[in-house]
Amino acid sequence: MNTSNAGAKSAPRKLPTHWLGVAPFFLFALLFLILPTFKIVLGAFQTPEGGFTFDNIAALFTPSILAAYWISIKISMASALLGCLIGFGMAAAVTVGGLPRGIRDPLLTFSGVASNFAGVPLAFAFLATLGPAGMITLYLKTELGINLRALGFNLLSFWGLTVTYLFFQIPLMVLIITPALEGLKKEWREAASILGATTGQYWRMVAFPILLPSLLGTFALLFANAFGAVATAIALTGSSLSIVPILLFAQIRGDVLGNPHLGYAIAFGMIVITATANTLYIWLRARSERWLK
């Protein structure tokens, strides 16, 4: 009898304890991301009686819903573009610019907090500051004679919501693009200088092409981040601005005019758009990391 085989068979099998650390993450992802997403996708193709239908998806192409999607897309693109431009300038100033290095850590710390500051607190902060009776609005009107409403600025509008979104869009851009800027090797700039390139030529012909995938990917991420923002838009504008999150809230809140399955279809359309933007971000980020390694 082979004693070694007998010993191997009788040895107790060990549980894969190395998976216990990530088990809570997978549990939360299953309960609050995967299962709700599956329910939304399934409900988008169901009738109230539970049958299969394409009517909910077809209803997305009605003029009112298409207009809401278009306004949401424009707000998301505007806030993403401005967030990229301003955030890139801030990140470049503290990484490759002439600002003191001591500013970098406070800026990144603030960006980490501000990029997650949204919802009702953010809406209240902007209403108290730039709202019709906000602190800055009243100060400009009484002390400087500048009437923001007369100039066409209204916080409860397209540009008002876009400016509010910039509070978390700009810090998110700073957090994402800073590592890419720090990944630019000094040897590339030195080689460009040796070959007679100016600073502008270096950025146009060397740095910018290398950073382009990161910039495009971050733009896609910021677009998805703004497009999926719900609490801030509802708390700030209520029903005064017809965007997709507010339209979705009106359909699923349970009043007599709501249609939960149409709400599922609207949410399904949001999932498709944000998933496309996030997939584009992941692909472009992978391309940029190959250059910066």
Task: Classify residue 97 by its DSSP letter.
Answer: S
Separation between Cα atoms, residue 220 and residue 212, nearest integer Å = 12
Separation between Cα atoms, residue 293 and residue 285, nearest integer Å = 12
Under 8 Å between Cβ of 83 and 222:
yes
- pLDDT score, position 9: 56
Amino acid residing at 201:
Q
* 165 token code pair: 């979104």
- 90 CB burial (10 A radius; 0-12, 13-18, 19+): buried
Q: What is the pTM of this model?
A: 0.84
Separation between Cα atoms, residue 86 and residue 88, nearest integer Å = 5
Separation between Cα atoms, residue 203 and residue 211, nearest integer Å = 10
Amino acid residing at 254:
G
Which CA distances in Å does 135 have to 130, 144, 264?
A: 7, 13, 40
* 144 token code pair: 């400087």
Residue-range domain boundaries for the chain: 63-292
Q: What is the pLDDT along the chain (293 residues), one digit of tens a residue?
A: 455 555 555 556 665 677 788 888 899 999 988 998 899 999 999 988 888 999 999 999 999 899 999 999 999 999 999 999 999 999 999 888 777 878 888 888 999 999 888 888 888 899 899 888 889 989 998 888 888 888 888 888 888 899 999 999 999 999 999 988 988 888 888 898 898 888 888 888 888 888 888 899 899 999 999 998 888 888 887 777 788 888 887 777 755 456 788 889 999 999 999 999 988 888 887 877 776 66
Closest by Cα among 198, 206, 180, 224 to 88: 180
* CATH code given to domain 63-292: 1.10.3720.10
- pLDDT score, position 243: 87
Separation between Cα atoms, residue 16 and residue 61, nearest integer Å = 50
- 46 CB burial (10 A radius; 0-12, 13-18, 19+): middle
